[in-house]
Structure 1
Amino acid sequence: MFVLLITALIKYANVPDDIPARLAAARLPELVPPSSLLYLRVFMLAINLWAIVLKLQMIEDKVIFHSPESQLPRRVEIRLSGFMWCSFFTFQAWALQTFYLAGALASSMSAVYGTPDLGARLPVALWFAFEVSFAVAVLTSFIVKYVLIPRKVQNGASVAGFFGLPDLLMHNCNTLFMALELLFADLPVLLSHFPLAALWGLFYVVFSWGWLARHGVCWYEFLDPSLPKAIVMHSVVLGVLGVFFAIGAALAAGAATISSPYVRIALVLVGVASVARTGLITGIPEPPVGAKKE
């Protein structure tokens, strides 16, 4: 729905005429020429599709504990399988990223092998999807690492689910892949396009309320509309999304001011590492001794 909406807005958007060409162009052709960018996109798209298949095949019984301040039932049991996994923000953001990577790959194939191009409007929709995907990917990784995992550990709950293969891919490769696109592809990120990212976030808020009405479960405490500070928490999350969108815009613009490609690569990868959590070095965190388990 989001992709259809932004595609419809293209007719009225003031966008550069060279976006279709820039979608397949390489920002650092001396390191990653267009042909190498194509193969990189093949790899990233394959990982995205693999993670989706793995996730949709999972069947899991979850016990959700809502905040004591919430008006929702304190404890809710739900069995997740198939397309029910699509109700998570992470999955929907991953799906948007997959749409972008599929279109970007098709554009690269057109440039390298001469396959039919994507026309004039679809590349612009892909550009919008990229801008949103970068900010949303960083937001997802940030919240998982610094909010969701610590909160669950503090409450004595298991966080092993965050370290299963599909979740590791969706919570870490999301940011890595969009960072690689930011580094090696030639698409800009315009700060004036932040309303698109805000629209994506607000779309999920409304979706989560519909899911709550049907299943009685709110996946993320900061989206619980019954909490006293719900509006404040919604606004904070939207503000954090804006910060990450601005970082993407600054990094894309900084490509013209930081002459050394290696410095740019180092800066971006340090940023990715700051929000990634794989458990390979620190292990899976355990609740503190004596913590009251949910």
Structure 2
Amino acid sequence: PVQVDKVLGRSQPFGFDSMASPTMQDASGRPPLALVALVVGVAALCVSQLPSWEDLSTVASVDVLGAPALGDAESMALHTKILGGIRLFFAMIIFGALAWLIGGPGWVEETNYHEKSSLRSAPVKIQGLRVMVFFTNWCWLMLGVYFLGAGVTALMSLDGGLLLPPRLLGLIFAAWEIAAPNALLVTVVVSYAIWPEVLRKEGPRGSTRLKIPVVLLQHCGNTAMVAVELLLGKTPLLLRHAALAPLFGCSYVLFAWWWAPRAAPKYGAQYMYFFLDTTLGVSFLYIATLGLLTVLEGFYCLAWGVDSLLDKAKAEGAPLVMQAIVLAVAVRAACRFGD
């Protein structure tokens, strides 16, 4: 197959070994036009595959977003109150954690880059709204939006009076389809990639920051909340809406490009994740970007599969306790709480 670098007039081989030396790259951190074209092209393709408002309105009805998966006609009202209360409790935890992070004293994040990067590592002050520069907090926010909206929808459905507009219900549903798979992604990446790498480089002292309660809440509590929702709620994950996952990833990449020169202007462009470093050569950037988008899509499909299996178990009358045990074991396997 034709290699990307040959198309661009470069002779280095395709792959990680083709990361260019600092002297060959633009240290400003601006993304190469070829990478911009890739991300914009993928985003445009995803937008073309997004569900229509009619589709969202059909799926995101009060009967779906507001109804519990458990209970019969006689106990429906009670179970709806419980479901709505749990969702609002989760929303309170999520937005409370965000408020704590935004209103707190902040911290200094040291960026680290590959040895062949042209970027200069720097201390980046994270305080106030700057906490939202991390992908984890984007996912955390989407989860909070869903639980708040779905919780309100459930409680409002009890009296059959005032209901949220159909398009707002559609956006709440879309927030779920973005948040659920990304919660699992964040948990798995932290548990099986970031944590072991921190231990390898810095030892137990380095992993101390991963054990802070609010960090554990965002990296483990997120998946636990999603598991509870899958067990008690009826909001589905639809495979035909899978374009939402890579589109969310493209949105973050575009944001990272905008943020880079503003993170620490004194030191030049800064990327909070090394694989977004735009000075590592077009070949690496293509691999990293396509890999990221593929992983996002893969976790969406994984979450859809779990949701489908649970729906089948509920339809076949599998005991609630058994479903809860299986989910608890899966969540525990994905989460990491210590070294």
Report the Cα distance in structure 1 between the residues aligned to 2:145 and 2:108, rounded to whole angstroms. 29
Q: CA deviation at 1:17?
A: 5.2
Q: Could you say which residue in structure 2 is the equivalent of 1:23?
A: 65
> Which protein has the larger Cα radius of gyration, Structure 1 or Structure 2?
2
1:140 aligns to 2:186 (yes or no): yes
Amino acid at match of 1:145: S
Q: Could you say which residue in structure 1 is the equivalent of 2:261?
A: 213
The equivalent position to 2:337 in structure 1, one of 251, 270, 278, is: 278
- Percent of aligned positions that are identical: 24
Q: Could you say which residue in structure 2 is the equivalent of 1:246?
A: 301
Report the Cα distance in structure 1 between the residues aligned to 2:232 and 2:305, rounded to whole angstroms. 15
What's the Cα RMSD here?
Answer: 2.5
For residues 146 and 115 of structure 1, do their structure 2 counterparts lie closer, same or farther at Cα, with a shift above 3 Å needed?
farther
Offset from partner CA, 1:153-184 (integer Å, 9 cap, x none): 22226122222122111111111112211221
TM-score, normalising length: structure 1 = 0.85
1:177 aligns to 2:225 (yes or no): yes
Offset from partner CA, 1:120-140 (integer Å, 9 cap, x none): 121111111101100111111
Q: CA deviation at 1:104?
A: 0.7
Moved more, 216-225 or 139-148: 216-225
Moved more, 23-32 or 186-195: 23-32
1:112 aligns to 2:158 (yes or no): yes
Q: Unaligned regions of 5+ residues in structure 2, if any?
A: 1-46, 264-268
The equivalent position to 1:87 in structure 2, one of 99, 119, 133, is: 133
Report the Cα distance in structure 1 between the residues aligned to 2:215 and 2:91, rounded to whole angstroms. 16
Q: Could you say which residue in structure 2 is the equivalent of 1:227?
A: 280
Q: Could you say which residue in structure 1 is the equivalent of 2:43?
A: none
Q: Could you say which residue in structure 2 is the equivalent of 1:266?
A: 325
Number of equivalenced pairs: 275
CA contact (8 A) 2:109 2:125 kept: yes
Report the Cα distance in structure 1 between the residues aligned to 2:54 and 2:249, rounded to whole angstroms. 22
Offset from partner CA, 1:29-88 (integer Å, 9 cap, x none): 269821211121122111112111111114212322212132211x21122111110111
Amino acid at match of 1:182: L
1:195 aligns to 2:250 (yes or no): no
- The within-5 A match list for 1:19-98 is 19-29=61-71, 33-56=79-102, 57-73=104-120, 75-98=121-144
Aligned with 1:69: secondary structure? Answer: coil
CA contact (8 A) 1:42 1:105 kept: yes
Q: Could you say which residue in structure 1 is the equivalent of 2:172?
A: 126
TM-score, normalising length: structure 2 = 0.74
> Quick one: higher RCO (CA 8 Å, sep 6+), 1 or 2?
2
Aligned with 2:193: secondary structure? Answer: helix
Q: Unaligned regions of 5+ residues in structure 1, if any?
A: 280-284, 286-294
For residues 29 and 241 of structure 1, do their structure 2 counterparts lie closer, same or farther at Cα, with a shift above 3 Å needed?
farther
